[in-house]
């Protein structure tokens, strides 16, 4: 596609900001229609695939009467707090560590072997160790989310620093910038888009670790709710819990996008 054609397409998209929202609504409506059709045609047993109406009833019960002794509001609060603490801890540790690893070769050589060892290990494997070391309270749950999320943050930060255009560094040195000024004014701004991308991926990983985290003697939380309902074959409740988890994860990702738009307004304009 020619450059002028691409620009005209982008301009049309800018003039029609409602188009993407309308597309999303249409896709969701089609998905619900197919789901309802599959339920009416009994392509799967009702126990395995409840209808949208049954899931909606489960939603009403969860938000009013509750399930497992309390309403879903308590589960949402517990899970959101665990994810937020674990994710923010991963960002607070991972971003500075990633910056140091990208700038200091010795730090990279010391930490990278441990990072590459931890990264492929599934979160469930850490549960016995965390229980033995820290008991069955909130700390091991938060640590499990942190351990699962921090490799994504570190690797994204390193990638952002390494992707700094050499021309920018050369221009800064030519203008007499000190190493500290080069880092603050060139390297860090260039790395911020990659760091925010890593954060957006990381928040999804954090929610993925939630179910594993709430295997540790939990009696509340969305991960616990999904597991508890699944053991009782309450599939409608399971689906409702999954929808809530996905919605909360998406909402947190949107918050990160808004922060990124404020802090990195130049992204996509380079």
The DSSP code sequence of 85-96 is HHHHHHHHHHHH
Q: Any residues with CB less than 8 A from the CB of 227 and at least 6 apart, and which?
A: 211, 214, 215
Of the candidates 243, 215, 244, 216, the one whose C-alpha atom is nearest the C-alpha of residue 231 is 215
- List beta partners, residue 70: 67
Contacts of 166 (CB under 8 A, 6+ apart): none
Q: Quote the radius of gyration of the chain (alpha carbons, Å).
A: 23
pLDDT of residue 20: 65
Task: Note the pLDDT of residue 1.
Answer: 46
Backbone dihedral region for residue 111 (phi beyond 0: left; psi -120 to 50: alpha; all else: beta): alpha
**Would you write out the chain's pLDDT as a tens digit for each of its 270 residues?**
444 544 444 444 445 555 567 888 898 899 889 988 988 888 888 888 888 888 999 999 999 888 878 889 999 999 999 999 999 999 999 999 999 999 889 999 999 999 988 888 888 888 888 889 998 888 999 999 999 999 999 999 999 998 888 888 888 888 888 888 888 888 888 899 999 999 999 999 999 888 888 878 788 899 889 988 888 888 999 999 999 999 999 999 999 999 998 988 876 555
Which helix (H) or strand (E) segment holds residue 258: the answer is: helix 235-263
- Tell me how far apart the alpha carbons of residues 216 and 123 are, in angstroms, rounded to a whole number: 12
Q: What is the pTM of this model?
A: 0.82
* Pair of tokens at residue 76: 């949402």
Q: What is the SS3 assignment for 124?
A: helix
> CA 173, CA 118: separation in Å to the nearest integer?
37
pLDDT at residue 18, as a whole number: 58
Q: What is the spatial distance between Cα 170 and Cα 197, in angstroms, rounded to a whole number?
A: 26
pLDDT at 93: 95
Beta-carbon contacts of residue 200 (< 8 Å; ≥ 6 apart): 253, 256, 257, 260
220 contacts: CB under 8 Å, gap ≥ 6: 68, 70, 74, 75, 78
The per-residue pLDDT for 8 is 47
Give the Cα-Cα-Cα angle 155, 156, 159 (nearest 5 degrees).
85
């Amino acid at each position: 596609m020619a450059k002028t054609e691409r620009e005209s397409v982008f301009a049309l998209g800018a003039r029609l900001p409602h188009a993407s929202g309308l597309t999303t609504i249409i896709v969701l409506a089609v998905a619900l229609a197919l789901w309802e059709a599959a339920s009416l045609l009994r392509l799967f047993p009702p126990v395995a695939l409840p209808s949208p109406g049954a899931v909606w009833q489960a939603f009403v019960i969860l938000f009013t009467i509750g399930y497992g002794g309390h309403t879903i509001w308590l589960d949402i609060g517990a899970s959101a707090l665990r994810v937020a603490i674990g994710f923010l801890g991963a960002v607070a540790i991972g971003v500075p560590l990633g910056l140091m690893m990208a700038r200091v070769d010795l730090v990279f050589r010391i930490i990278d072997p441990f990072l590459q060892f931890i990264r492929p290990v599934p979160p469930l494997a850490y549960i016995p160790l965390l229980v033995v070391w820290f008991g069955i309270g909130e700390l091991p749950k938060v640590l499990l989310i942190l351990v699962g999320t921090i490799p994504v943050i570190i690797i994204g930060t390193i990638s952002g620093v390494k992707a700094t255009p050499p021309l920018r560094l050369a221009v800064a040195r030519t203008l007499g910038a000190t190493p500290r000024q080069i880092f603050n004014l060139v390297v860090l701004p260039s790395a911020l888009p990659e760091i925010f991308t890593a954060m957006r991926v990381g928040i999804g990983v954090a929610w993925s670790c939630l179910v594993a985290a709430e295997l540790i003697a939990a009696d509340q939380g969305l991960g616990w709710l999904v597991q508890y309902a699944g053991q009782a074959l309450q599939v409608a409740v399971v689906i409702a819990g999954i929808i809530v988890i996905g919605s909360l994860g998406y909402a947190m990702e949107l918050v990160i996008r808004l922060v990124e738009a404020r802090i990195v307004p130049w992204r996509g304009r380079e």
